[in-house]
Amino acid sequence: MGMMRQYELVDRVKRYNPNTDEDLLNRAYVYAMRAHGTQKRASGDPFFAHPLEVAALLTDLKLDDATIVAAVLHDTVEDTEATLEEIENLFGPDIRRLVDGLTKIKKLDLVSKKAAQGENFRKLLLAIVDDIRVLLVKLADRLHNMRTLHYMAPEKRLRIAEETVEIYAPLAGRMGMQELREELEELAFRHIKPEAHETITKRLEEVTQREGRVISEIENDLKAKLAERGIEAQVYGRRKRPYSIWKKMERKSVSFEQLSDIFGFRVIVDAPEDCYRVLGIVHMTWPMVPGRYKDYISTPKQNDYRSLHTTVVGPGRQRVELQIRTDKMDRVAEFGIAAHARYKDGRTAGAIGEADESRAYQWLRRTVDLLAEGDNPEEFLEHTKLELFHDQVFCFTPKGRLIALPRGATPIDFAYAVHTDVGNTAVGARINGRIAPLLTELQNGDEVEITRAEGQAPPAAWESLAVTGKARAAIRRATRAAVRRQYAGLGRQILERAFQRAERPFSDDKLKAALKRLARTAVDDVFAAVGRGEMFSGDVVKAVYPDLEPEKRLALDAKAKAPAGKGWFELRQGGENLKFKLPEETPGADAIPIRGLGGDLPVRFAPGGGAVPGDRIVGILTPGEAVTIYPIQSPSLAAFDNEPERWLDVRWDLDDSRPQRFPARIMLNSINEPGSLAQITTTIAEHDGNIDAVQMVRPTPDFTDVTIDLTVWDLKHLSAIISELREKRVISRVERVVA
């Protein structure tokens, strides 16, 4: 097909707008032709043919002069020497604005899943909604590009096609431009799923050849039935498009044969009330399919689409889908927002009140206003309800890199999507510059900045909170690694002390030499096994030093189990009583340092009583679990008397820069009177105690036993709280509970 001539374009505009400014159109034509000069498109056509085709497509939508001119000029600023200033001087501010909007969008290289760099969705919409005509030119531009897509390089084709299906087709649909939407989807479908497209097209051909008669039969049948009742109607039969058939097959997971409504009919009448009369006649003639009737005339869709929909079982048991509407509704259905060619351009619009505007256009208007005020992208997207990406959110790194995530994703998912290390070290997030919890649900267009701290391990609880598989797997790995690190750290400390007691030097190399005897493949495996209590430290020393003297071997077995006051430890072995001196009472520097729950070692505190700094403590190792820390006076320790190898020498090691609370339990006996519990809790709170749980039992009508689990800084702090409580008149007794 040859290139469109100047006079052809002017003629097309004149057909629907006799008052068109011919001079303006001609000047634009000449300007663009000169600007593009000898540039060629991928197809080998002069580049200038493209803007003309786009302008021609817009004449089908009967658009105003400014829009047609903007279409002719839409590539000049981006691709030639032309400037916006020049365009404003020659064609005025209105057209400059339109061209500027188009240039901006072009620069955005729209958000698509594959785009390495995406620009903020909000900017795209800003450019579009600043003037709805920008969107119309953009859609026409995209349609022409899609029609000539086969000239593009194959790797570009797929990206452009996917972007079309994900962004432009839904936008056209959102604006009510069904025809345009369908053609865009169709062209994209051909490139994205060529095999599916071919198969479905072939099947449609077969069905049409087989059922083609039925279509014209139904058309004539319907016309005759309606004419009998005095209704003038046009009836068009049409085949569904391959893309919509494929979507339906995917959505309902049905085969081609199971699809009922491959044919659709459109009945066009004069007045809205005729639509309902047609519906009555159709339902009296053919059985309707229940659940398929929809009335968009009484409740139009958001984009102004109005129509009655129904499906009936027609001649030949063929299911037939009907759309019944007036001529005006039909125009809106096809052209959508473009059917209301009411723009800011005063000349064509005259003074139009808000009430006359189409709802789709009002929707856009509101969007523009929101954008103008908007500092809140979430709200903006909520209001626009532009559910283009209903199952995805597109977010950005501060550098503008696009991260596509599933709906419901949080900054945790975002961090892992950027890089596993970023996820593992994430401690906080800023969303659009504001500090936000890591569990905030992300919205389209959010800019997310992750705050990191080295040496962090992600909390295991994150795993159930992450939405993306990538984040979940990484958190699982990191948690496993962190726990293993804790156990290995504990194991190393236990071993260092065991070698010290055996008075033998300890080093990783010596341990390496004994790996075979220990049936482990790496030094770390040995550490972790000892830390988990799956291997005893004494056995490791013996494996490294098989020639250890008997008394040292025994000393290893009789691990320092030193309840206060006993300096000697007896061990019966083969009928002999052997005596060993134990370490000094105060835990020496070689005891394992304990920092609390967030520390480097896998520890927990004695259930039912806890332990606080200032207590003398011992650790009990339970295979596969954390070390449990008990105060030395704890009665529970008696249970481990016969398992000396499970006892660990531990000492407090507090970090003044990061103070931490520790668990303790107190029991008090209080007089039953109003407000006594309040007095107790207030006293604890005033003294900086933190109450975790309270249990009350009433042994007699006059007294209540209250057990309180609290966290305190240390023994001094706990003692101060207890003595303060003893002062209270309502309390007869206060004791610390050590389980």
Residues with catalytic annotation? 78-79
Q: Which of 142, 151, 147, 154 is nearest to 109 (CA)?
A: 142
Q: In a 3-state reduction of DSSP, which class is residue 98?
A: helix
Cβ-based neighbour number of residue 334 at 10 Å: 16
**Would you state the structure tokens that stand for residue 333, as one six-digit string?**
């259905």
Q: Whose structure tokens read 């390089």?
A: 153
**Would you state the structure tokens that stand for residue 152, as one six-digit string?**
């593009």
What does each C-alpha distance from 17 to 20, 64, 245 come to in angstroms?
6, 8, 38
Q: Is 734:668 a contact under the CB 8 Å cutoff? A: yes
DSSP string over 420-448: HHHHHTEEEEEETTEEE-TTPPP-TT-BE
Q: Is 129:46 a contact under the CB 8 Å cutoff? A: no
| Cα 607 from Cα 626, distance rounded (Å) | 13
What does each C-alpha distance from 315 to 280, 319, 589 come to in angstroms?
18, 8, 96
Phi, psi of 70 (to 5 degrees): -60, -35
Q: Which of 240, 238, 268, 265 is nearest to 331 (CA)?
A: 268
Q: Is 76:54 a contact under the CB 8 Å cutoff? A: no
**Would you state the structure tokens that stand for residue 63, as one six-digit string?**
């658009």
How, if at all, do strands 627-631 and 592-594 pair? unpaired
What does each C-alpha distance from 312 to 33, 209, 260 come to in angstroms?
54, 22, 10
Q: Residue 397 burial by CB count (10 A; 0-12/13-18/19+): exposed, middle or buried?
A: middle
Q: Is 2:48 a contact under the CB 8 Å cutoff? A: no
| Cα 271 from Cα 595, distance rounded (Å) | 82
